[in-house]
Chain A
Amino acid sequence: MSVASLLGFGRFALRRLVEMVFTLLVASFAVFGAMYLAPGSPASFLLSGRSASPQALAAINARYHLDDPFALRYVRWLGDVVQGDFGRSLTYRTDVSRLLADRLPTTLMLVGMALVVVVVVGLLLGRVAAVRGGAVDSAVLVATTLAIGTPSFVAAVLLQGLFAVQLGWFPSSGAGDGFWDMVFHLTLPAVALALYLIGLLARVTRTAMLEALDSEHVTVARSRGVPERLVIRRHVLRNSLGTLLTTGGLIVSTLLVCTVLVETAFSIGGIGQLLELSTSTKDFPTVQAVSLLIVGIFMAVNLLVDLVLPLVDPRITLGTRSAAA
């Protein structure tokens, strides 16, 4: 890479970073402001319908600085958030950041396992469908049509009913302790989480590979007698890498959102279940924190994809993405 292009890349990365920080700011404002759009005063909202003595009300007003102007409260809250302080949970009576720290590893493990399943199975299916064609292709298409129509909670309930309750091969709930026990406990949830995205990724892979298979350099490589395996690996897969990477952001955000459903179905104590519990108990600081976390991770992954893309595929000029499927 020349110095000029390195500089250009640096400037591009900086611009994207600034854009992301701005988007995060707006998102945080929306998440914070939402609380004040809710019907009723913030104090009664924090009490979630319980009646309180005037003293308790005054204490709450003082604790959450509810007598200050909105802008001041937002800035103060944002300052705390930047330092990792999301306030206190209303139902758990502990710091929200503690709750997050306790539960995040479980969710990351679950999402990580699901991601591995999605990438391995999705790529494999798409590749087989594109390369083999014919009956294999049709079978993969039918399977992926079904997978794409199956919401993760449906997959969770069906897998749980069959493999955990009827057959007893896997535990039906909980996250387990220790690494291998966790893997064992999280296998069914990870598969449930992965199913929809396997269908999606297989489709994208198939289309991208078919496009690459059709191009002239592949014909040239074949006519030169390059072995088919090498043609696929070097000239087809590598060419479709850019398209596959652009689905990365979508895949990660879908995984994070669907953990809410899957963790609830399998009673796994991760941040997804935390979001469900805190929403039904109106524990707003916790809802705010988890939502911001999910949006933040999603944006970070998108930024990463944007930055890696020009490195993987030199044909892509900075800042222009090939259309995501």
Chain B
Amino acid sequence: MTAATLTRRPGLAKLRAASGRSPLHLACLVVVGLVVLAALVGPWITPHDPNSAELGSALAGPSGEHLLGADVAGRDTLSRLIAGARTSLLGPLGVVVFSTVAGIAVGMVAAWRGGWVDSLLSRSTELVFAFPGVLLAILVIAMYGEGLIAPVAALGVAYVPYVSRLTRSLVLAERARPYVSAYQVQGHSALQICLRHILPNIAPVVLAQSAVNFGYALMDLAGLSFLGLGVPPLTPDWGRMVFDGQTAVQYGYPLSAILPCVLVVLTVVAFNVVGERWADRVARRDK
């Protein structure tokens, strides 16, 4: 039951099984580690100020001065990539934290209370499903203007159903187990049983789902930044860098746009593979 309800991309299991301690998984762990490290210490290790524009070196190719070249405004690409890791990861992190906390709350209440509360909550989450995340984010941006907070909040809401549906089915399964009735007989309150005893039991599966959601959220937010609707103009951010570099691509200087593209793909793939593997392991242990 618990394993089957995990929403995950099918097919990765074989890749893992085939390669044992797969080098792919190891490589992905390294990528995740590097990107997180860059997000943590990025501003202190950039070779140049990511925002200092030297028009003289605009669209410069890779050289000793600019290892990965410079963009249209002459800003050092390597520095912007490193500094951009923070914004590019902070957004998805916000989405995942919000959707996980809210999703667990909604799913738990729905499963525990049952009855009309359950149908009301389940119906509302179905409604949210009708709005694709990016569309919801665009609606909110149209209201509140560009920025990082509005789309993160919108995507956070849009991702709640994925977590709440999973949580609901997990809690329903846990409720039927004897330890819950034992605590009920002993007079523990519902809140106490849910938070102290059920939550730790379902947490690994829910967190694995959230890790998978992280990759999706990163893609969505980078897309919004690419539209110029996400982070403010000067912020170093991978999606925004692609947006800034698009005109340069048309003139045949694709480097400043392609490098952030590559980083987005690498990061999303790495988080997906690591998340899937985690989901698999947790699900297997649960059986």
Contact surface of A with B, Cβ cutoff 8 Å: 23, 26-27, 30-31, 34-35, 37-39, 137-138, 141-142, 144-146, 148-154, 157-158, 160-161, 165-166, 172, 200, 203-204, 206-207, 253-254, 256-258, 260-261, 264-265, 275-276, 278-280, 282, 284, 287, 291, 294-295, 298-299, 323, 325
Contact = CB atoms under 8 A, between A and B. Distances in A.
Which has the most chain A C-beta neighbours within 10 Å: B5, B131, B142, B272?
Answer: B142
Greatest chain A CB density within 10 A among B135, B222, B250 is at: B135
A34 B261 CA distance: 33
Nearest to A254: B132
A284 B10 contact: no
Contacts of A256: 132
A146 B15 CA distance: 13
Contact of A153 (B10, B126, B226, B268): B226
Contact of A141 (B14, B242, B266): B14
Contacts of A280: 146, 227-229
Given A146-B265, A148-B272, A291-B138, A257 B12 contact: no
A26 B272 CA distance: 34
A151 B15 contact: no
B176 interface: no
Contacts of A142: 15
Interface of B: 4-5, 9-12, 14-15, 18, 126-127, 130-132, 134-135, 138-146, 215, 219, 222-223, 226-229, 239, 242, 246, 249-250, 252, 254, 257-258, 261, 264-266, 268-269, 272-273
Contacts of A137: 14
A284 B146 CA distance: 14
Given A148-B269, A261-B223, A287-B138, 13 more contacts: A34-B140, A35-B143, A38-B144, A138-B15, A149-B268, A152-B223, A157-B249, A161-B257, A166-B254, A279-B141, A279-B142, A295-B135, A299-B130
Chain B interface helix/strand/loop/mixed: helix
Contact of B227 (A154, A160, A260): A260
A279 B229 contact: yes
B14 A149 contact: no
Contacts of A144: 11
Contacts of A279: 138, 141-142, 227, 229
The interface centre, meaning the residue of A35, A38, A149, A287 with most chain B CB atoms within 10 A of its CB, is: A149
Contact of B242 (A148, A157, A299): A157
A148 B229 contact: no
A167 B138 CA distance: 34
Contacts of A38: 143-144
B127 A157 contact: no
Q: Which of B5, B10, B258, B268 has the most CB of A within 10 A?
A: B10
A280 B222 CA distance: 16
A39 B138 contact: no
Given A149-B215, A165-B252, A261-B227, A23 B143 contact: no
Contacts of A295: 130-131, 135
A165 B144 contact: no
Contacts of A138: 14-15, 18
Contacts of A31: 139
Most B CB contacts (10 A, CB to CB) among A152, A165, A206 go to A165
B258 A161 contact: yes
